Amino acid sequence: MEFVSLPFAAGLVVVFVLYYLFPNRRWQRALLLMASAAFIGYNSLVHLAFAVGITLFSFYAGRLLARKINRRSAPFILWGSIALLIAVWIAARYAVGVFPLGISFYTFQALAYLIEIYWEEEPENSLPDFALYMLLFMKFLSGPIERADQLLPQIKKARMFNYEQTVRGLMTLAGGAFMKLMIADRIAPSLDGVFVDVHNATSMQLLQVTMLYPIQLYADFAGYTLMAIGIGQMFGFRLSPNFNRPFTSQSTTELWRRWHMSLSFWVRDYVFTPLSASLRQHGVWGIRLSLLVTFIVIGVWHGAGIAFAAYGLFQGLLVVFEQATARQHEWFQKKAPKIYAPLMTIRTYVLFALSLLFFRLENTREVFYVYSHLFDGFTTGIKELKLGLTDFYWIVFGIAVVLMFAAEWAESQHSLIDRLRRANPLVRWAAYFVFATILFAFGAFGVENFIYTQF
């Protein structure tokens, strides 16, 4: 089931009303578990079976690990469990032919949970609480990848209706819907039309879609995350943020601290840190090797094949290069502080856009075809650059993108929701109606899947 669908909207309303009808912990937990099971099993019971299987395995493996923590068998239990979880993930992803939705996200949650127990965190004793931590519907499909110590304590509390928090949740949900419907889904068919057949596209079209794709991906994924966070708030949960204005980054290193943060922090904590610690005797080269491996892990997390590994390697090489040239960057920044920031921001965006071609095309040969034809010539007519989108919708798309970045900038200065909540009721209600009307009239309904639900 997708967020932007009638069954989900109807289900959400029903679950919300029932949730606050009896605000006690057991009822709320049971309801959320049932809602999550319905959400996951709606498309296929196989998906639900996989998720429940991984949940049960992780719960009991965690308890076993905790019991044996100071014994010799502990590493074997940990590594055996990790191997099994990864084997199931790989098998489900590439061998079985049924790809259970959300498996990459909940498998990483399970891995983090087991590693934390090995690092002497307490295991969870309540199976229903743990199941909710793993399966909570609003973050099930595409994260954020939550840590047990963040989410489990929230699950253990009963939640009373909080008007302010619910309204904020609704506003956040609406913000996510704006990004998804006005930007990502509006431009998606046009970009897909070129990516599906890059050999048929002109050089300008290739350049155009390469540079627009990060915006589509960001609006899609960050839009999804905002919707998940908003729904979480409505039910009294605080989910982790996944994005922090990534396109303001002045380096690829910074970009990965702002882009898909729950994944990049996960690999930092559970791949990079242990790996670089074990390679510390090799000095700077040990760190560089750890960085490359970490980014390749990020790449292959998205999919099998050379293209995804190349996507990760591309990022890794950039980060290693930035680390190796840190002094030169400092010098440049001191010498030309005014142009450094915009230049580096543009450079970071362009390199990210180029690397995303591996991610989008999933075929290295096609990627190199695009690279070699990006600057063939600039004699394309305006009609070809419209990519099948009418002038009107290009204007709508352009305004929406500007609004998105402007809102993000404003949000970084002071909370927009706070300002709106403090505004005169007439202004506030007018803003609500205008926003809803814009979404209603110009949103691209119909593209019901999110890009990251395939991972």
Partner 1 sequence: MKILAFYLKTILLALPFALVIAFYVWVDPFMVIRNYNDYDSPIVMQSEGTVGWKKYKMFRHIRHYDSFIMGSSCTKAFNTADWLQYINGSPFRFFGNAEGLADMCLKLEALDRQPGQKIRNLLIVGEVDFLSRGLPQKGATYSVPPEVSGQSWIAYQTTHLQAFFALKFLKKYLRYRFTHRYTDDMNGVINNHGRMRTRFTNDAIPYAEPLIHKQGERFWQTPEWLSARAENYVFTEQKPVIFHAQLACLLRIKRICDKHHTNLKIAIGPAYKTGAVNHTDIELLKKIFGQYNVVDYSDRAHIAFTDYHYFSDPAHYRNSVGRLILHDLYRAHI
Q: Is 102 left (phi over 0), alpha (psi -120 to 50) or beta?
A: left
Residue 358, judged by CB atoms within 10 A of its CB (0-12, 13-18, 19+), counts as buried
What is the nearest approach in angstroms of partner 1 to the Cβ of residue 170?
A: 8
Q: What distance in Å separates the CA atoms of residue 434 and residue 26, rounded to the nearest whole number?
A: 40
If binding is defined by CB under 8 A, does position 22 make contact with partner 1?
A: no
Q: What distance in Å separates the CA atoms of residue 229 and residue 244, rounded to the nearest whole number?
A: 14
Cis check: omega of the bond before 144, within 30 degrees of 0: yes
Q: What distance in Å separates the CA atoms of residue 382 and residue 237, rounded to the nearest whole number?
A: 48
* Count of CA atoms in the C-beta half-sphere (13 A) of 307: 16
Q: Residue 394, SS3?
A: helix
If binding is defined by CB under 8 A, does position 442 make contact with partner 1?
A: yes
Site string for partner 1, 355-384 (x = CB under 8 A): ------------------------------
What is the nearest approach in angstroms of partner 1 to the Cβ of residue 55?
A: 30
* Count of CA atoms in the C-beta half-sphere (13 A) of 417: 13
Contact set for partner 1, span 39-68 (CB under 8 A): none
Closest-CA residue to 279 (of 269, 271, 270, 290): 290
Q: Which residues contact 230 (CB under 8 A, 6 or more apart)?
A: 168, 169, 170, 171, 172, 173, 174, 175, 176
Long-range contacts of 402-409 (CB under 8 A, 24+ apart): 403/178, 404/178, 404/179, 404/183, 404/219, 405/247, 407/175, 408/245, 409/245
Q: Which is nearer to partner 1, 82 or 174 (CB)?
A: 174
If binding is defined by CB under 8 A, does position 446 make contact with partner 1?
A: yes
* 450 touches 2 (CB < 8 A): yes
Q: Which is nearer to partner 1, 67 or 386 (CB)?
A: 386
If binding is defined by CB under 8 A, does position 166 make contact with partner 1?
A: yes
Q: Which is nearer to partner 1, 269 or 384 (CB)?
A: 384
If binding is defined by CB under 8 A, does position 5 make contact with partner 1?
A: yes
Q: Which is nearer to partner 1, 8 or 405 (CB)?
A: 8
If binding is defined by CB under 8 A, does position 197 make contact with partner 1?
A: yes
If binding is defined by CB under 8 A, does position 411 make contact with partner 1?
A: no
What is the nearest approach in angstroms of partner 1 to the Cβ of residue 388?
A: 8
Q: Which is nearer to partner 1, 66 or 171 (CB)?
A: 171
The CA angle 53-55-60, to the nearest 5 degrees, is 100
What is the nearest approach in angstroms of partner 1 to the Cβ of residue 101?
A: 17
Find the binder of partner 1 among 84, 86, 87, 196 (CB under 8 A): 196
If binding is defined by CB under 8 A, does position 440 make contact with partner 1?
A: yes
If binding is defined by CB under 8 A, does position 426 make contact with partner 1?
A: no
If binding is defined by CB under 8 A, does position 331 make contact with partner 1?
A: no
**Binding-residue total with partner 1 (CB under 8 A):** 28
Q: Which is nearer to partner 1, 14 or 91 (CB)?
A: 14
Find the binder of partner 1 among 161, 321, 371, 409 (CB under 8 A): 161
Q: Which is nearer to partner 1, 191 or 404 (CB)?
A: 191
Q: Which residues contact 335 (CB under 8 A, 6 or more apart)?
A: none
What is the nearest approach in angstroms of partner 1 to the Cβ of residue 161?
A: 5
Q: Which is nearer to partner 1, 199 or 338 (CB)?
A: 199
Q: Which is nearer to partner 1, 60 or 432 (CB)?
A: 432
* 344 touches 250 (CB < 8 A): yes
If binding is defined by CB under 8 A, does position 6 make contact with partner 1?
A: yes
Q: What distance in Å separates the CA atoms of residue 382 and residue 91, rounded to the nearest whole number?
A: 47
Binding residues (CB under 8 A) for partner 1: these are 5-6, 20, 161, 163, 166-167, 170, 189, 192-193, 196-197, 199-200, 388, 429, 432-433, 436, 440-443, 445-448
